[in-house]
Amino acid sequence: GTVYLTGQVSLTGEDARGQSIDILNKIDALLEQAGTDKSKLLTSMIWVKDMKTDFAPMNEVWNAWIDPNNKPTRACVESPLARESLRVEVQVTAAVGGDTNALRAKL
């Protein structure tokens, strides 16, 4: 199966780094509830409010968090977000059970 986590944002982090940490912790918890984990991520989409100021701190947190042996496809774009205080938004798709590599091959 597959789990889709859309529109994950942080309501407590004050900057891109803090928001990224909050978001990825939330994603870990949601993936666990769905019976999977970040090693089974298939795709990710990340929006940052300002590529010049928000990408580097978000990317540093992302690189420390992601399973280095099972990196998903990823896109990152600059975009206005739903609230003025938001700096980062993340969407991920993950496999649940089954053969993750077979699912990745279909992408």
65-79 pLDDT tens trace: 999 999 999 999 999
Asked if residue 26 lies in contact with residue 94, where contact means CB atoms within 8 angstroms, the answer is: no
pTM over 0.75: yes
CA distance 8 to 26: 8
32-45 pLDDT tens trace: 999 999 999 999 99
7-57 pLDDT tens trace: 999 999 899 999 999 999 999 999 999 999 999 999 999 999 999 999 999
CA distance 11 to 38: 22
What is the pLDDT confidence band of residue 97, given thresholds at 50, 70 and 90?
A: confident
What is the pLDDT confidence band of residue 82, given thresholds at 50, 70 and 90?
A: very high
Structure token pair of residue 62: 């992302």
Structure token pair of residue 27: 């994603």
